[in-house]
């Protein structure tokens, strides 16, 4: 029997073994620390936020769509974004089951923004049907910077960029 359900703690090792089938340049050892970063160490994650969804057939994972919470400050108001990640479905079960993963992602409650990276043309078509807006990052934007301590950053800014005349 094939089902679609939320990812649970007990799935993480099997999921780490499954994902290298779709992301062939990775290994199980690559995924386990990533899962920790996405969910265990992520300050935006709570147990009420789904880690993602899997397609399961006879207790074997056949598909996955990850769900990573991210906090955004928009016009002074904290918003929660759901960032999709690592969508892969075994070719033997692709089709409507793949779309069920996507629909589970879109049905989430308490999410203000849905983020999806769509490099595949067919996926882009789905995104447009769901009224996603496309934002293309500048070619130069390859890294993100995080301010950890505003006071230290302000001191560094003054030291290096504001000159006393």
pLDDT in tens, 72-98: 877 788 888 888 899 899 999 988 888
DSSP state, residue 131? T
Residue 79 pLDDT: 85
Sign of CA dihedral 89, 91, 96, 97: negative
pLDDT 10s digits, 101-145:
988 988 888 888 877 765 655 666 666 676 666 655 556 555 444
SS3 139: coil
Q: Which CATH architecture has domain 2-161?
A: 3-Layer(aba) Sandwich (3.40)
Domain range list for the chain: 2-161
Q: From the CB of residue 74, how many other CB atoms can be counted at a distance below 10 Å?
A: 10
pLDDT at position 19, please? 97
Alpha carbon distances (Å) from 39 to 7, 9, 103: 11, 10, 21
């Amino acid at each position: 029997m094939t089902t679609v359900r939320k990812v649970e703690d007990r799935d993480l090792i099997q999921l780490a073994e499954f994902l290298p089938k779709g992301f062939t340049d990775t290994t199980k050892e690559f995924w386990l620390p990533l899962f920790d970063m996405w969910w265990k160490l992520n300050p935006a994650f709570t147990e009420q936020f789904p880690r993602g969804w899997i397609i399961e057939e006879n207790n074997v994972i056949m598909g996955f769509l990850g769900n990573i919470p991210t906090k955004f400050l928009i016009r002074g108001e904290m918003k929660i974004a759901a960032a999709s990640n690592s969508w892969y479905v075994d070719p033997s079960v692709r089709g409507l089951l793949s779309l069920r993963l996507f629909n589970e992602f879109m049905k989430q409650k308490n999410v203000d923004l849905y983020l999806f990276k769509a490099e595949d043309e067919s996926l882009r078509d789905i995104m447009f049907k769901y009224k996603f807006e496309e934002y293309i990052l500048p070619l130069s934007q390859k890294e993100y910077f995080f301010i950890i301590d505003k006071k230290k950053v302000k001191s560094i800014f003054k030291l290096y960029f504001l000159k006393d005349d």
